[in-house]
């Protein structure tokens, strides 16, 4: 079998929040492995610019936090004869503040963007996958799926929930032929982390704290995503794959 196990030719992959950062990098990686990629976000102009950088990429714009909009968009896409074989639930946001002063509205936005979206899009896509008896769902967690940091307790709560929702998806849907897993990235140089990357004190702390001694590059997440999306991971279910340079392995 060899490399054929990782070949995604003929499969269609929807990646939420994929106009930039980790989402775009994962879409690029899946395309390089042969998949037809579908980029998602709310900003159609940003999506169009991103899609122009991946040969054959399509766009499916919807708000991943809007249950009815998600269902309508996914059902219409499937009805047009475009089955979604792979779903990457990547849409996410961050907000930093001391927990005792954390704004309630920011907490609610984090819940909707980081965890409710995984439920909404996961359910809408899984209904079609279940009917076909196959499908791959890859949710994007974080090192905060397992560990906390000051000033981001609500984010940590949402990413912990992503890990357990992934286990729940596998528990409910593996019997229908679906593989539901998560990738938990460590600290990567992305637009979401721009403030941290620009902070010399934080970067120095991170390099000391990470056994690999550096920030991750978004391209280093592609292999994990291709693996979980491929036949090579046919018996991997409910797993959280940490790609973090060793942070969660080391005190």
Spatial strand order of the sheet with 58-59 comes to: 58-59, 36-39, 12-15, 86-89, 135-140, 178-185, 240-243
Query: How far apart are alpha carbons 160 and 145 in whole angstroms?
Result: 4
Contacts of 58 (CB under 8 A, 6+ apart): 36, 37, 38, 39, 51, 82
d(CA 27, CA 34): 11
Active-site annotation holds for 155: yes
End-to-end CA distance of the chain: give it in Å, rounded.
39
Indicate which residue of 155, 176, 187, 242 is catalytic.
155
Residue 241 CA to residue 225 CA, distance in Å, equals 10
Specify burial of residue 211 (Cβ count, 10 A radius: 0-12, 13-18, 19+).
Answer: exposed
Catalytic residues: 155
């Amino acid at each position: 079998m060899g490399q054929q196990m990782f070949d995604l030719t003929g499969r269609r992959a929807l990646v939420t929040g994929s106009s930039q950062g980790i989402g775009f990098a994962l879409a690029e990686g899946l395309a390089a492995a042969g998949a037809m990629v579908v980029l998602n976000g709310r900003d159609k102009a940003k999506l169009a610019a991103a899609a122009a950088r991946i040969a054959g990429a399509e766009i499916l714009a919807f708000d991943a936090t809007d249950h009815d909009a998600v269902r309508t968009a996914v059902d219409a896409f499937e009805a047009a004869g475009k089955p979604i074989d792979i779903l990457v639930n990547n849409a996410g946001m961050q907000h930093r503040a001391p927990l005792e002063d954390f704004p309630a509205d920011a907490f609610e936005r984090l819940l909707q963007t980081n965890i409710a979206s995984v439920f909404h899009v996961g359910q809408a896509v899984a209904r079609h996958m279940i009917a076909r008896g196959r499908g791959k769902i890859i949710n994007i967690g974080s090192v905060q799926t397992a560990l906390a940091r000051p000033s981001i307790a609500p984010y940590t709560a949402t990413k912990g929930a992503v890990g357990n929702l992934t286990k729940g998806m596998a528990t409910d849907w593996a019997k229908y032929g679906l593989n539901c897993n998560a990738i938990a990235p460590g600290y990567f140089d992305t637009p979401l982390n721009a403030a941290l990357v620009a902070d010399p004190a934080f970067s120095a702390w991170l390099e000391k704290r990470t056994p690999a001694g550096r920030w991750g590059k978004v391209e280093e997440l592609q292999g994990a995503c291709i693996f979980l999306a491929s036949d090579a991971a046919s018996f991997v279910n409910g797993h959280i794959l940490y790609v973090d340079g060793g942070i969660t392995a080391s005190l």
